């Protein structure tokens, strides 16, 4: 099998921003949103790692090399499996208060037992139960962190998951997590669409206030701009009109609907 340095694709996007990419389709071909983008922000005295990925290969030594003597904060954008499974390596992590309980327990990935892909052997060795970080701290809307020169603010954007967060920096970046990216969209059941749209509106308002804001999603291409948010908003709003085209997609227990720009998986439960 590959080593961690071949597994992750590491690039320096800006002097203070590294992107560590991981292909999640390696775990199961049902996932097509490659790559997952793990972001590392380097402040003067503190670094912030946004997500820890799939937990397949060690990540900590890679991060240690990049941050030098800085302190390290580790955040999860939300609890879905592709974002927090490397947490155990880091000891202490932060996630929105609504998702603290979920990631404080061993994470059950037994739904990958039938994956045709060789790499799931790494999960099998752990009996498909991935251990959590020792300490999980809660985040909430408006929390601010000073990394030295770079400041970040937590924006709570429920919808994709109850505790999804985005991060706004004072250096012009908006990390949109899985709230907005170009790729297959995972949505809650239809009754919760107003919440999804409300979170997208919140981000659209931020972009209207600050025109040069760059969007950094947790999957696929970056940086994006406000068009991503408005495309997604219009698409989700239009799902009602496409409802009779829905097809069941059982692995996700979801309805699948496609339009010209996105594929949507809408939870059935």
Angle 100-20-79 from CA coordinates, rounded to 5°: 20
The phi and psi torsions of 95 (rounded to 5 degrees) equal: -150, 160
Judged by CB under 5 A, the stretch of 92-100, 147-155, 178-186, 239-247 that binds Zn ion is 178-186
Stretch that binds Zn ion, among 56-64, 88-96, 107-115, 172-180 (CB under 5 A): 172-180
Number of residues in contact with Zn ion under rule CB under 5 A: 2
**The one segment of 9-17, 80-88, 115-123, 125-133 that binds Zn ion by CB under 5 A:** 80-88
Longest alpha-carbon distance in the chain: 56
User: Considering the rule CB under 5 A, would residue 99 count as an interface residue with Zn ion?
Assistant: no
Task: Give the CA distances from residue 192 to residues 96, 188, 218, 228, 269, in Å, rounded to whole numbers and listed in that order.
Answer: 19, 6, 22, 20, 11
Answer for which of 22, 51, 99, 178 binds Zn ion (CB under 5 A) is: 178
82 touches Zn ion by CB under 5 A: yes
Phi, psi of 135 (to 5 degrees): -125, 130
Which is closer to Zn ion, CB of 22 or CB of 178? Answer: 178
Interacting positions 227-256 with Zn ion (CB under 5 A): none
The residue among 146, 140, 203, 198 whose CA lies nearest residue 176 is 203
**Sign, Cα dihedral of 206, 210, 216, 221:** positive
Query: For Zn ion, which stretch binds (CB under 5 A), given 13-21, 81-89, 236-244, 253-261?
Result: 81-89
Q: Which is nearer to Zn ion, 43 or 158 (CB)?
A: 158
Binding flags for Zn ion, 179-208, as an x/- string (CB under 5 A): ------------------------------
CB of 150 to Zn ion, least distance (A): 24
130-138, 170-178, 236-244, 250-258 -> range binding Zn ion (CB under 5 A) = 170-178
Name the DSSP class of 58: -
DSSP β-ladder status, 165-169 and 173-177: antiparallel
- Distance, in Å, from the CA atom of 122 to the CA atom of 119, rounded to the nearest integer, reads 6
Output 150 or 228, the one with its CB closest to Zn ion: 228
* Contact criterion met (CB below 8 Å) for 54 and 85: yes
Shortest separation between residue 26's beta carbon and Zn ion, angstroms: 14
Binding site for Zn ion (CB under 5 A): 82, 178
């Amino acid at each position: 099998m590959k080593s961690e340095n071949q597994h992750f694709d590491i690039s320096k996007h800006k002097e203070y921003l590294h992107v560590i990419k991981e292909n999640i389709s390696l775990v199961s071909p049902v996932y097509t949103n490659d790559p997952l983008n793990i972001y590392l922000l380097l402040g003067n005295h503190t670094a912030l790692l946004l997500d820890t990925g799939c937990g397949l290969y060690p990540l900590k030594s890679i991060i240690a090399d990049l941050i030098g003597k800085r302190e390290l904060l580790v955040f999860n954008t939300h609890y879905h499996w592709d974002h927090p499974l490397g947490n155990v390596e880091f000891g202490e992590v932060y996630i929105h208060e609504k998702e603290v309980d979920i990631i404080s327990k061993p994470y059950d990935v037994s739904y990958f037992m039938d994956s045709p892909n060789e790499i799931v052997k790494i999960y099998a060795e752990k009996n498909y139960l991935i251990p959590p970080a020792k300490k999980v701290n809660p985040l909430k809307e408006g929390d601010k962190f000073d990394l030295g020169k770079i400041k970040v603010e937590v924006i709570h954007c429920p919808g994709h998951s109850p505790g999804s967060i985005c991060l706004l920096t004072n250096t012009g970046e908006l990390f949109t997590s899985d709230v907005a990216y170009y790729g297959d969209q995972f949505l809650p059941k239809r009754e919760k669409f107003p919440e999804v749209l409300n979170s997208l509106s919140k981000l659209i308002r931020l972009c209207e206030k600050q025109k040069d804001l760059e969007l950094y999603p947790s999957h696929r291409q970056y940086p994006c701009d406000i068009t991503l948010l408005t495309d997604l908003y219009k698409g989700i709003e239009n799902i009602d009109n496409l409802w009779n085209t829905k097809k069941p997609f059982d692995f996700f227990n979801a309805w699948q609907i496609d339009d010209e720009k996105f594929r949507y998986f809408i939870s059935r439960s």
